[in-house]
Amino acid sequence: MLPGSILQKLHSAHKNSQRPLNFGVYYKNTLVALCHALEDFILESKQPPLVISAFQEGKWYAQEAERYGDLAKQSRHIAIMATEKTGFDEVTQTEDNVALVGLKPEDPIAQEWHLIILSPTYTAMVLCQELSEEDYGVIGLPESDLERKFYGFWTFEPNLVQETVDLAIAHIGNYNPDLQKHLQSQVDAIAKEWENHQRDDLSSVVLKVVDYLKDTEKDTNTDDEAEFFESQALDENLVSNEMQAFLRMAQLIDQADVNNPKAAAEVASLAEAMGQLLDLPAWQGKRLRLAGLLHRLAPLQAAPQLDNPRSEHQQKVLKQRGLLPKASVLRIMPQMQAIANIIIHQNENWDGSGKPEGLAYDAIPLESRILSLVAEFQQQVTMAKINDQENPLSHALEACQADVGTRFDPKLVEALSLLAMGIQQGMSLQASQPKIAAGIWLLENPEEDDAAKLIGS
């Protein structure tokens, strides 16, 4: 990362934190799709946002100038950074609330591509830096513009977006102190309004992201054999980011639950461990892990384990933030059909009294039965810890055993007993945020360095 860049500053600030940033590598067409989806939502959001963009070169903004004219009508203010004398000085500024900030060629921000949105009803950003010639290694710089790669991440997390906005405004102050003051006043106004507005439905933003990525995927298809491998690599990067869109939504739901903010990661680890204990194939264990990470995307009101005051509060918070998920969202991706099926049937009961179809016994998908059991176990362990009960694992296991033969598969509860015993004897399960393997929905080993791997892919 370039010293002094926004990406490098964020990386340094979070390097040793409990929640380090999850970086990935994106092709240019992936970033275009991400940004267009987030920009489109500006036109639909309930409150006008503050928008800060970095386009590297002015010519790229020139191509988007008309689009940004429409966005300006729905925004408080838009600040756009790009290198001078690369088409930027030719741009005609037609909107009073659009400010152009010409960067010096040596400015590290000139190598970054940003879209940062701060609104009283939602936050979002794409934050990336183009790979250097050294990063590309032996394959060399790409010949096609679409093959250019960028290193970074995208997120909806309010605190992280706010932190990035502060860094960007401070950097703009080096060029235009008056603009810095004006942008800061906008940030202060949004902060005051934040608690007074119902959040926008971010699940619809995720669907926009996936739709744009799918459209881009269609555009890269080719019958030319010489172009096949190039288009295949681009498609793989797009599919990876479609997966990330759903994981972002799941992470937002976890963040809304102050009592159990690590549910997805812990359920995923438990589900994968159960798969290993049952000697399931590796691919099935990976599928279980992904289902665990996304299991809260199922309708929360249908989950029996959430019939308590805390879950009611969580649902209220989710509704306020526009995060109540829609069970059908996973079905729009062919790669997610199996995962959607696992998640949707996690509320079936062993005796046939569950939802949505009243399936019983072995008619319930095995992964759904596992997911239902470990999700309840994780919830019970968390509640026991909150209530300072002795031996939370034993308490949680007893709660699950009480529902043997009615809600849970007896054989799976026996397997869970062995897993709980192993945990009590010192076996550790790594509960970590996922890293998405380029081109496939299976998850990578969290300990691997995704940057080194993806740059060489």
| Enclosing domain of residue 103 | 6-200
* Domain end among 142, 169, 200: 200
Query: Is there a single domain that holds both residue 169 and residue 226?
Result: no
Residues 212 and 162 in one domain: no
**Is 56 a member of any domain?**
yes
The secondary structure of 330-399 as a DSSP string is GGGSGGGHHHHHHHHGGG--TTS--SSS---GGGS-HHHHHHHHHHHHHHHHHHHHHTT-S-HHHHHHHH
Q: What CATH number should be reported for the domain holding residue 175?
A: 3.30.870.10
Cβ(74)–Cβ(42) below 8 Å: yes
222 and 150 co-located in one domain: no
Residue that has been written with the tokens 């306020």 in this structure: 320
When pLDDT is averaged across residues 321-339 and rounded to a whole number, the result is 54
Domain count for the chain, please give it. 2
* pLDDT at residue 79 tops 50: yes
| pLDDT higher than threshold 90 for residue 173 | yes
Assess if residue 1 is contained within a domain: no
pLDDT at 312: 53
Kindly write down the DSSP assignment for every residue of 104-147, as one continuous string. PTT-GGGGEEEEEEE-SS-EEEEEEEEPPHHHHGGG-S-SSGGG
Whether 359 contacts 345, CB under 8 Å: yes
Side-by-side strand order, sheet with 98-103: 24-27, 149-155, 123-130, 112-118, 50-57, 77-83, 98-103
Give the pLDDT of residue 224: 41
Indicate whether 387 belongs to any domain. Answer: yes
Residue 168 domain-assigned? yes
129 located within any domain: yes
Cα(160)–Cα(152) distance, integer angstroms: 13
Q: Are 196 and 240 in a shared domain?
A: no
In a domain, 292, yes or no: yes
Find the helix packing angle between 225-255 and 282-294, rounded to 10°: 50
Confidence of residue 296 (pLDDT cuts 50, 70, 90): confident
pLDDT score at 142: 65
Per-residue pLDDT tens digits for 414-453: 999 999 998 888 776 666 555 443 333 333 333 333 322 2
| Residue where a domain stops, chosen among 177, 200, 223 | 200
In a domain, 404, yes or no: yes
* Band of pLDDT at residue 172, cut at 50, 70 and 90: very high
The percentage of the chain sitting over the pLDDT mark of 70, rounded to a whole number, equals: 69
What mean pLDDT do residues 105-120 have?
A: 91
User: What average pLDDT does range 365-371 have in this prediction?
Assistant: 95
Q: Using CA atoms, how far apart are residues 2 and 398, in angstroms rounded to an integer?
A: 53
Q: In terms of domains, do 170 and 313 share one?
A: no
Give the pLDDT mean for 325-347: 67
Q: Is the pLDDT assigned to residue 110 strictly greater than 80?
A: yes
Q: In this predicted structure, what is the pLDDT of residue 94? A: 67
Containing H/E element for 57?
strand 50-57
Mean pLDDT estimate for the chain: 77
Neighbours of 188 (CB within 10 A): 10
Any domain includes 339: yes
Model pLDDT for residues 383-418, shown as the tens digit of each residue: 999 988 889 999 999 999 999 999 999 999 999 999
The stretch 353-382 carries a mean pLDDT of: 93
271 shares a domain with 179: no
> Of 152, 183, 200, at which residue does a domain stop?
200
What is the tens place of the pLDDT at every residue in 219-251? 444 444 344 334 445 455 555 666 666 776 677
Identify the pLDDT of residue 208.
75
Q: Which residue has the higher pLDDT, 71 or 426?
A: 71
In this model, does residue 196 exceed pLDDT 50?
A: yes
